[in-house]
Amino acid sequence: MMKLLLYLSDCMLPFMIFYIVGFGLLMKRPVYDDFVEGAKEGARTVLGIMPTLVGLMTGVGVLRTSGLLEFLVGRMDGWLEKVGFPPQLLPAALVKLFSSSAATGLALDIFKEYGPDSRLGLTVSIMLSCTETVFYTMSIYFMSVKVKRTRYTLPGALLATGAGIAASIWLGNYIGL
């Protein structure tokens, strides 16, 4: 069964390419011209959101190297443990709001120190998979379609992220080990 799944996954991308090109030719569309036009629009979108990406990545880099995350963990250590939140996970939870790759780097640090099969390793894995890069996603999506008023998006996204963090801590503590 596994060999069949591996074979299908190897064939999927070429099949999709042939399907799209074939369908375009069947519909008598100028497939290459449509592809070039789509690539131009994609490049315009990338150029439009580039300042936002650079700003977010710079901010995350400054946050990680400044020591602010360690300072917050040190200040909130007792309170976090009282509510059942492992203080070691606070940097990953905060950084994940801005950058998934930076949060993955922090998760790798947790894996190195505590092990990937530890309670903290399991919990950070669950947490990173059930939370979203809220500020990154909002800035990219709303910037690309020029939305000025986000209404309830931020409170809703932060509430969902909080629920994901709570669920991951519960799963890591009570189900995982």
- Scanning the structure block, which residue is given the tokens 């994940």? 96
pLDDT the model gives residue 176: 56
Residues in the chain: 177
Q: Report pLDDT for 177.
A: 54
pTM recorded for the entire structure: 0.70
Answer for the pair 136, 98: CB distance below 8 angstroms, yes or no.
Answer: yes
DSSP string of 85-126? --GGGHHHHHHHTT-HHHHHHHHHHHHHHH-TTSHHHHHHHH
pLDDT of residue 139: 83
Low-confidence ranges of the chain (pLDDT < 70): 176-177
Q: Give me 55's structure tokens.
A: 């700003």
